[in-house]
Chain A
Amino acid sequence: MQYNYSAQCSKKNLADIRSFISETLNNHFKSEIDIHHMVLAVDEVCANLMIHSHKCNPKESIDLFVDVRKQEVIIEIKDTGNGFNLKSYQEPTIDEIIVEKKKGGLGLMLVKRIMDKVEFIKSNNNNICRLKKTILTSK
C-alpha cells in the first residue's frame, strides 16, 4: 500500500506530518514503539529540511511517500532544496553538544539509531531521503 502527503515548509506543520505517519502505520502494524520510531525519524528529517534547506519558507514544500510492505516500511521524503551530503556529516559527540550548548545535531543521530537504513539520494533537481525499517508485527 502506498500513501503520500505534502506539507509546506513551516514548523507548525510538523504535528500534522506526525499524525499522517502515525495514522497510516497504525492501520498496518501493532508495535507502538516501531510506529513511534518511524514518526520520530520522519519528524526529525522534515524539521531539518524545513529549517536548514528551506529556511522555513511556507511557499516551499516537501513531499512524503510511504510504502507499506508486508514486514517493512519505506518512507521517502522528497524536496528540491540544497541536498544533504551524509558522507560529509560529522556526528557530534554528546560531550560536544553539552559543552558547545548546541541545540541541534541530535536529530540525525536519532534517525540513524532507530532506522535500519538511511539514504540521501540526489536525482535531477530532487533530493530524496529514504528511510527503511523492518516491522514484524503487521495487523
Chain B
Amino acid sequence: MITIQTNKEEDFYIIKVSGDVDASSSIHLDNKIGEIIKIEKKILVDCNDLQYISSAGLGVFMSYIHEMEEGEIKMVLFGLGNNVKNVFHILGLDQLINMVETKEDAKNLVDAI
C-alpha cells in the first residue's frame, strides 16, 4: 500500500511517499516523479512515513539520475527511517542519491547543489 501526496512550499515541490514501495506499488512513485521532473526543478521527497522500500523503489530513483543531471533538476530525499536508509546503503546508492534528515536540510541542500 502506497500513498503519494504532493504540495508546494516556496519554489520547492514536495512529494510525500507513505507506506511500502515494492514491486507492486513502485509504478505509482515512478509515474509521479516522471510527471513532476517535466515541470519542476527543485524536488524534495518526504520519506518520514515510508515504511519499506525494495529494489523496485531504488530502481525508480536510480532511473531518473541521468535525466535530472541533464535537466539541472535537483532532488533530495529526507526523513528516511533506518531500514529504508539501510537498503540504499547496502548497494552504496546513498552516495548517488542525496538524502538528509529534515525538510529544512533538504531545502538548504537543493539550493546548494
Tell whether A11 pairs with B24 under 8 Å between CB atoms, given A36-B86, A40-B54. Answer: yes
Task: Decide yes or no whether B105 CB sits under 8 A from chain A.
Answer: no
Tell whether A44 pairs with B55 under 8 Å between CB atoms, given A11-B23, A101-B66. Answer: yes
A94→B93 contact, CB < 8 A: yes
Task: Decide yes or no whether B113 CB sits under 8 A from chain A.
Answer: no
B20→A110 contact, CB < 8 A: no
Tell whether A106 pairs with B91 under 8 Å between CB atoms, given A36-B83, A97-B59. Answer: yes
Main secondary structure of the interface of B (DSSP, over half): helix
The number of chain A residues with a CB under 8 A from chain B is 29
| Interface size grouping (class) on chain B | 20 to 34
Q: Kindly report which residue of chain A lies nearest to residue B67, judged by CB atoms.
A: A101
Task: Decide yes or no whether A1 CB sits under 8 A from chain B.
Answer: no
B90→A110 contact, CB < 8 A: yes
* Interface membership of chain B positions 54-96, coded 1 if the CB is closer than 8 angstroms to chain A and 0 otherwise: 1110111011011000000000000000110011001111001
Instruction: Report chain A residues within 8 Å CB of B30.
Output: 103
B56→A33 contact, CB < 8 A: no
CA–CA, A99 to B60, complex, Å? 13
Tell whether A109 pairs with B91 under 8 Å between CB atoms, given A11-B23, A36-B86. Answer: yes
Q: Kindly report which residue of chain A lies nearest to residue B95, judged by CB atoms.
A: A94
Nearest 5 A/B pairs, CB to CB: A11-B24, A47-B23, A103-B59, A106-B55, A107-B55
Interfacial residues, chain B to chain A (CB-CB below 8 A): 1, 20, 22-24, 26, 30, 52, 54-56, 58-60, 62-63, 65-66, 82-83, 86-87, 90-93, 96
User: Could you write out 18 A-B pairs with CB less than 8 Å apart?
Assistant: A36-B83, A40-B54, A40-B87, A47-B22, A47-B23, A94-B91, A97-B59, A97-B62, A102-B63, A103-B56, A104-B55, A106-B55, A106-B58, A106-B59, A106-B62, A107-B55, A110-B87, A110-B91
